[in-house]
Amino acid sequence: MATTSLAGKPEAERCCTVDRVSMVYKIGAFGGTDLPAVRDVSFEVRAGEVVSLIGESGSGKTTLGKMILRLCPITGETITVDGVDISTFKRRRLKTYYRSVQGVFQDPFSSYNPIFKADRVFSMIKDEYFAEVNAAEWRRKVAASLEAVRLSPDEVLNKYPHQLSGGQLQRILIARALLLDIRLLVADEIISMLDASTRIDVLNLLADLKAQGLGILFITHDLSLGNYVSDKTVILRRGRIVEMGAPDRVFGNPLHPYTKSLLTSVPQLHRKWERVEAELAAGRAGLTGRCIYHERYPNGDGPVGLDAERPTLAEAEDDHFVACFQADGEETC
């Protein structure tokens, strides 16, 4: 097992910290029903680290990503980036914030305005952030950035989105983000709509960027993809973290029943469902009827907030945290 734990790294390398964040969707006119989308979620993304946020639909993973990008309002406690609370940023400050934090979304075709050429995503950045840069220098900058994502400028510039493939479009979006001095990239399901044969190249690209010191929040519903690139895995269910830690621990030794059920359902090549199920059942034998969180904190008074490391999570082993086993997370066991 490769130990990728970054627990010992100094505070300064924390890139983005999410601390006890909640988000409630109001449904219906003038409030009405509340739908909690994210509940008390805390984690951090460090520089040079890929954190996978894994969850099914309705787990709140996309909402979290949008909160970090300030595309939806932040409720609950705080999200800090480089130690600064971002929840109150307005206009100018927000614009400056976007210099260092950028996002790429799931649907490459919907990320482009269909009636404009694809390079409009670059010119928008130029107009807003690099108005003073002259055209020739800007072209050089764009070319360099395209090369960083392994695209040749002749191939992709001056074309309309529908003339490019999904993989190319996603890479252009990453190149766009690289034009700014970003420290954190939120990648929301960026490969789920790509064809299998091109997915892996985009994933590899993320890994390369990480090697250059970028912090990446990789949001996905696919466990195998999350596992491939990440240094830390966060599993979300209905807006709560159920398990978190180094990928080889979370996937190699899943503790929470929900993580296990996910693992037994994900279709894998070379391993049929029955086999995976049997393997996990064997691993589970010792855990039946137990709840590690409540064994550690019988009164449910586990440490809260980032100061005490992880809220509502118990450290089961080094760099492996787990929430109460009550599968639904609604009530405790």
Partner 1 sequence: MSKVSLRVAGLKVHYRTLRGDVKALDDVTFAVADGETMGLAGESGCGKTTLGKSLIRLDGRMRHVDGTVELDDEELPIGDTARMNDFRFREVFIIPQYAMSAMNPTRKIGKMTKELLESRGVRFETVRTELKRRLELVGLAHDVLDRYPIELSGGMKQRMVMVLSTLLNPSLLVADEVTSALDVSTQRAVAETLVDFRDRGFVRSMIVITHDVSLVYQIADSIMVMYAGKLAEKAPTDVIVDSPRHPYTQLLISSLPEVGVKYADKRLTGIPGSPPSLLDPPAGCRFRDRCPLAFDKCSEEPPFVEVEHGHYVACWKA
Partner 2 sequence: MTVPSVDQGVDTKVDRVPGARREALYFALRNKKLVGGLTVVLLFLVLAVVGPMLTAHGPREYVGPPMQPPSSEYWFGTTTFGQDVFAQFVYGLRATFRVGILGGGLTAIIGMFVGFTAGYRGGLVDETLNMITNVVLVLPVLAVLLIISAYLRVRSVEVQALIIGLFSWPWVARAIRAQTFSLRSRDFVDLARLSGVPTRRIIFGEIAPNMASYLFMVFILLFGGAVLFAATLDFIGLGPTEGISLGLMLNNSVKWSALQLGMSWWFIPPGIGITAIVGAFYIMNVGLDEVFNPKLREM
Partner 3 sequence: MRRYFGRKFLIYALTFFVAVTINFMIPRLMPGDPVRSMVARAGMQTPEAAATMQEYYTRIFGLDVPIWQQYLNFWAALLRGDLGISIWLFPQPVTGVIMRAVPYTLALLIPAILLSWFAGNKFGAFAARRKWLDNTILPVGYVLTATPYMWLAILLAWALGIIAGIFPIAGGYSFSLAPTLSWTFVGSLLAHWFLPFVSLFLVFFGGWAIGMRNMIIYELEADYSHYLQALGAPQRLVRKYAFRNAALPQITGLALQLGVIVAGAVVTEIVFSYPGLGHLILKAIENQDFFLLQGAFLFIVIGVLLANFIIDIVYVLVDPRTRTGMGGGSA
Give the whole-angstrom CA distance, residue 18 versus residue 16. Answer: 7
- Provide, rounded to whole angstroms, the least separation between the CB of residue 215 and partner 1: 16
Question: Could you say which of partner 3, partner 1, partner 2, none residue 252 binds, taking C-beta under 5 to 8 angstroms by partner kind?
Answer: partner 1
Position 27 contacts partner 2 (CB under 8 A): no
Q: How many residues bind partner 1 (CB under 8 A)?
A: 39
Among the listed residues 29, 131, 196, 308, the single contact to partner 3 using CB under 8 A? 29
Give the residues across from 103 on adjacent strands.
186
Beta strand ranges found along 184-296 (DSSP E)? 184-188, 215-220, 232-237, 240-245
Give the residues across from 17 on adjacent strands.
44, 80
Distance between the two ends of the chain, CA-based, in angstroms?
Answer: 32
Using the contact rule CB under 8 A, the part of the chain among 6-14, 27-35, 154-162, 249-257 near partner 3 is 27-35
Position 201 contacts partner 1 (CB under 8 A): yes
Using the contact rule CB under 8 A, the part of the chain among 2-10, 93-101, 253-261, 290-298 near partner 2 is 93-101
- Provide, rounded to whole angstroms, the least separation between the CB of residue 248 and partner 1: 8
Beta strand ranges found along the chain (DSSP E)? 14-27, 33-46, 50-54, 75-81, 84-85, 101-104, 184-188, 215-220, 232-237, 240-245, 314-317, 320-322
Position 320 contacts partner 1 (CB under 8 A): no
Count of residues in the chain:
333
Position 28 contacts partner 1 (CB under 8 A): no
Position 31 contacts partner 3 (CB under 8 A): no
- Angle at 282 (CA atoms; ends 280, 288), nearest 5 degrees: 90
Give the whole-angstrom CA distance, residue 247 versus residue 315. Answer: 15
Using the contact rule CB under 8 A, the part of the chain among 117-125, 148-156, 217-225, 289-297 near partner 2 is 117-125
Q: How many CB atoms lie within 10 A of CB 270?
A: 5
Output 267 or 298, the one with its CB closest to partner 1: 267
Position 23 contacts partner 2 (CB under 8 A): no
Residue type, 199: R
CA 328 vs. chain centroid, Å, equals 22
Position 135 contacts partner 3 (CB under 8 A): no
- Provide, rounded to whole angstroms, the least separation between the CB of residue 168 and partner 1: 8
Question: Could you say which of partner 3, partner 1, partner 2, none residue 125 binds, taking C-beta under 5 to 8 angstroms by partner kind?
Answer: partner 2
Binding mask 36-75 for partner 2 (x = CB under 8 A): ------------------------------x--x-x----
Torsion of CA 65, 71, 76, 78, to 10 degrees: 70
Position 28 contacts partner 3 (CB under 8 A): yes
Output 143 or 266, the one with its CB closest to partner 1: 266
- Provide, rounded to whole angstroms, the least separation between the CB of residue 244 and partner 1: 17
- Provide, rounded to whole angstroms, the least separation between the CB of residue 2 and partner 1: 6
Bridge-based pairing of strands 240-245 and 50-54 is unpaired
Question: Could you say which of partner 3, partner 1, partner 2, none residue 56 binds, taking C-beta under 5 to 8 angstroms by partner kind?
Answer: partner 1
Is residue 21 within 8 Å of residue 78, measured between CB atoms? yes
Position 131 contacts partner 1 (CB under 8 A): no
